[in-house]
Structure 1
Amino acid sequence: MAGSFPCGTVDHGEDPETCARREIAEETGLDQPMHGILTVTWSPAGPRLGSPAINLVFDAGTVPASTPILLPEHELEAHRRAYPAEAEQLLLPSGALRLRAALRARETGTVQMLRSSGRLLTTHLRGTRCPRGPPSPTAPTPPTRPTSTSSPARATSS
């Protein structure tokens, strides 16, 4: 069974950051503030997706290992804490790609924009930098808990 990040779809009237925080709470019982977007992935419509989609991975900070995770019965069967190398083995290829990009964003302080095929589109979104910037070079990088939010890409007119 492949693992995944806490994730979900933006509800009507909800912004992506609120969605990410809500999904983490629903799937883990944690109330984590978001510290900015780490990755943006664009996926075209295809056999799996009926319409194009944009997937955002937010930085939800680091959760101490002693923090209890509460799994709602209707959401998840199990959870597992893993360091990045192990997490890559547990995730689907698309999740492993997003994890690598999210860690790169935390390291460099630069939002990563990907195409669902795995191709890096750009490493800089019009001057946007990750709010937290790169971690201190003297501090070890702890395991991260990125969260993912998907929303259909739709054009709107005024």
Structure 2
Amino acid sequence: MPADVFYAQLHRVIPAAAGFVTDAGGRVLLVKPNYRERWGWPGGHVDDGETPEMACARELREEVGLTLETGRLLVVHWVPEMDERPFPLVHFTFDCGTLPDGARITLQEDELDDWGFFTAAEADEILPGWQAERLHASIAARASGQVTYLS
């Protein structure tokens, strides 16, 4: 079988990455996209030629104006097809640390309406359930030093 035929038959997934960023009080940084109702992570799809780590760093710079070290992997999340997305999503969440007091957030207004730091309980109210699950897994993974796989 020719390689192009073989690869055309394989299952496809969409890779995405986000940064787990907290403030000094342990609250997580979330953003409000202008193209959907619920809040989410600062992050996005992995572009051609990027690794998930590179995508995480780029998205943090683009969306909230932060240049942070992309730290260790916290969570890998397999998210099945949903809504208009025809392929599963493989989401990589990286620990991007704690922002020092006074760090400046510069919102990308083309895609985002707002940003904020939220406790886990507050985030549960504004995130879709599958992203809230990722938040709790990220908190636990940061505390334990382990990597978590969600499906």
Both proteins in one fold, TM over 0.5: yes
- Secondary structure of the 2:111 match is coil
1:154 is aligned to none
Structure 2: gaps of 5 or more residues:
1-36
2:102 is aligned to 66
1:91 is aligned to 127
1:139 is aligned to none
Structure 1: gaps of 5 or more residues:
116-158
- Secondary structure of the 1:80 match is strand
Residue 70 (structure 1) shift: 0.3
**Which has more strand, going by share of residues?**
2
Q: Determine the C-alpha separation between the residues in 1 that align with 2:59 and 2:92.
A: 13
Q: Does residue 1:5 correspond to 2:41, yes or no?
A: yes
Q: Name segments (4+ residues, structure 1) moved above 4 Å.
A: none
Once the two structures are superposed, the pairs formed by residues 1-158 of structure 1 within 5 Å of their partners are 1-115=37-151
**Which has more helix, going by share of residues?**
2
Residue 82 (structure 1) shift: 1.5
Q: Determine the C-alpha separation between the residues in 1 that align with 2:122 and 2:112.
A: 20
Residue 84 (structure 1) shift: 2.3
